[in-house]
């Protein structure tokens, strides 16, 4: 089960995040999202746990707790939407051809 972890400190490492979640079950992957230009943390990431029960335990235990001076927001990750809000069309006004 994939979990969203928000409000991460820029100094939080993937290893520190793994250790925080490992006390609640087996962690299969950790990914802190980084800015593609600067390489700095964007303040959120994802943790994947092997079972739903372990993931729920981690959410209950870690949501609202502090890691590296920041209060974590932990919940089930939602699927990424293909709708990114772009207009994409002709923009709606009158066209004169």
What is the secondary structure of 56-69 as a DSSP string? HHHHHHHTT-EETT
- 48 in a domain, yes or no? yes
Which structural domain range is residue 11 located in?
2-76
Domain count, the chain: 1
Residue 89 lies in a domain: no
Residues of the chain with pLDDT below 70 are 82-97
In a domain, 55, yes or no: yes
Residue 47: CB atoms within 10 Å: 27
Paired strand residues for 49 = 27
Q: Confirm whether 90 is domain-assigned.
A: no
In a domain, 49, yes or no: yes
Q: Residue 16 sits in a domain of what CATH number?
A: 3.30.70.330
What's this model's pTM, rounded to 2 decimal places? 0.80
Residue 4: predicted pLDDT: 98
């Amino acid at each position: 089960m994939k979990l969203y972890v928000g409000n991460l400190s820029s100094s939080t490492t993937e290893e520190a995040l793994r250790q925080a979640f490992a006390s609640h079950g087996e962690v299969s992957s950790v990914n802190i999202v980084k800015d593609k230009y600067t390489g700095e943390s964007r303040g959120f990431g994802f943790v994947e746990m092997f079972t739903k029960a372990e993931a729920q335990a981690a959410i209950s235990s870690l949501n609202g707790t502090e890691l590296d001076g920041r209060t974590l927001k932990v919940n089930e990750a939602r699927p990424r939407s293909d709708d990114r809000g772009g207009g994409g069309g002709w923009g709606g006004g009158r066209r004169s051809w």
